[in-house]
Chains A and B, each alone.
Chain A
């Protein structure tokens, strides 16, 4: 449905919109736009970014085996979100990004947010969660060479991902509630979410430490066995 003919333009747009323009918009919006409109702008951008990314996926040649492995990761991270306290969702998104590429990482993150929210509740936060998790998966794919080489780098990325996810969601909470970005409310939200953020980061570290390598081995086996 959304088709941009020039493939180079499409590629550029698909990277630039979600990862450059969208965050810029959110930050600029805090100072430039009238109060209350920022939340709307941010939401519109989040939806746009997800839509662009997902629509772009259509035009790539992707074999059924890769599709299935991606959906297996989505399903695993969805059920991971039901584990109390320590959740492997982000870790799995990162692993998908590292071993299957940025695109699969994005889809794993975004779709596991979307599907699990059918149980945890959909709302305007869904596009933000999709974008936040999707970006975590995407960047894991971008830096995959690093992360395969060094487990330390991967675990550090896990910590950062945990914090970034929390911060993005806090920004959204503040924007949505008060319509405008306010430092006081943001700090309050960050402080309130601190235990969550810590738990996110800790579980990312635990799971990346425990499952990154075995999952990598399993994936490599599957990839060689079935020629993905």
Chain B
């Protein structure tokens, strides 16, 4: 049964000529899991916020939205507010109250329910989400993942039929994001809640979804069953960038007659099946030029120990690590493994109590009076907003003593007049980088530069960083994004409990790991060696060629 449908929906923001959405028509049936994808600025957020009238932006809207065939414009605010739930990114700011129990009951209080009913629903939801032990906690003590689960729970407490989620996992680490998506699947399969989600973490969402809505500059490019849409994207290479590795590999390799015979794989397992069935394994490895680092050291840790207070545990334990000049070095590892702390120690913001850190061969403690930060080292924080305080992007650049023309990379000039909080996450990262590069650093430390970015901006940031290392700047990145590390790093290190457990070039590093590795590497594990990105796999498959004798069996399709 149809639960939500939009007819000829168009929307234009005030002071803008081109519409953000034009003629969007689609319908969602009850219990459907819909993934919305598209590049930054394709109108995903606008579409989701229009579907939730309370958060709809100001501007000119035409067309109509129907909820169970009633136009939403004729529904009472009360019905509308509690039938359709809405969660966005920024877990921290969506929380209204200071205690978990109060947050869970907030929406129910707004509904005007009696105390007994609220008590029952709060208990029910807390059990379903498994957050009973957080019940009395202060909301600001929760981790990002717990906060976002709380936001979801608080919305679900009103028993909505539809959940709209606008990049809910953008600010979460992979484990927390995975938990969140698992919870969405549970809500969908156990309570048949209709879910419409726009997110960049498509590797997990696409396999879970029933249908896929692809948006491009305000238009619907494609809408239909996930697998059908995924395989049809072959004709649209631009949209492929954001798809899961299996879809990308299939789309590059399948030819037109395969399209009807072999279903598009969505998960790692299906992708592996597809490669095993369809491709030969004669050539195990691609010949790659061996990476050699320079002799001179840019940053080195020797047996560094750090703890935040006397009674707490060591965050860094005997950390030893060397980064050579003009390297792009990625530090990966789980939450609380000390990655960010290592960066803070290297930038002189946290004091270590034993060992030593050298910056370009000089002890970090011998840099006095901020001389460390002028022409030597800078750090891009995880929350890049902390760098901004002016009213326009142009003033921001001037504040740092630079302008759009004198930067080592191409700065998007269209955003110069915008407020730094009104630009996209990717543009914010570029602005942050621009401010940092004004001091002409030789060593650039970045904390999670790809957090919440879409695939296109990741590529852009990656290319900017590569061009910086080519010009002799050393770049050290702390990231959860192993796909990014695999694609761009010269060398990678894995942090575990405050020290480095392994470090190597990405080819060897990710090919050796079984769990902590890219989905492409997991897909071809034991089939090909040293293939860690979708591009590597595609190249190897092409080199090997299709397996003719087995093609018949592949025709029966992949399950």
Contact = CB atoms under 8 A, between A and B. Distances in A.
Question: Direct A–B touching in the complex (beta carbon < 8 Å)?
Answer: yes
Interface of A: 217, 221, 227
4 contacts: A217-B391, A221-B391, A221-B419, A227-B58
A227 B58 CA distance: 9
Interface of B: 58, 391, 419
Contacts of A227: 58
B94 to A, nearest CB: 12
B357 to A, nearest CB: 30
A221 B419 CA distance: 10
A83 B419 CA distance: 29
A221 B391 CA distance: 9
Nearest to A68: B96
Nearest first, the 3 A-B pairs at minimum CB distance are A227-B58, A217-B391, A221-B419
A119 to B, nearest CB: 15
B127 to A, nearest CB: 30
Nearest to B391: A217
A227 B419 CA distance: 17
A217 B58 CA distance: 21
A217 B389 CA distance: 12
Contacts of B419: 221
Nearest to B58: A227
A98 B448 CA distance: 40
Contacts of A217: 391
A12 to B, nearest CB: 32
Nearest to B389: A214
Contacts of A221: 391, 419
A181 to B, nearest CB: 40
A4 to B, nearest CB: 25
B106 to A, nearest CB: 12
A22 to B, nearest CB: 31
B139 to A, nearest CB: 14
A217 B419 CA distance: 12
A227 B59 CA distance: 12
A221 B58 CA distance: 15
Contacts of B391: 217, 221
A181 B316 CA distance: 61
A182 to B, nearest CB: 43
A68 to B, nearest CB: 9
A227 B14 CA distance: 13
Nearest to B422: A225
Contacts of B58: 227
A171 to B, nearest CB: 34
A217 B392 CA distance: 12
Nearest to A226: B58
B395 to A, nearest CB: 12
A63 to B, nearest CB: 12
Nearest to A217: B391
A128 B123 CA distance: 41
Nearest to B419: A221
A41 to B, nearest CB: 35
A227 B56 CA distance: 12
B154 to A, nearest CB: 15
B180 to A, nearest CB: 25
B27 to A, nearest CB: 31
A8 B419 CA distance: 44
B56 to A, nearest CB: 12
B172 to A, nearest CB: 24
Nearest to A64: B96
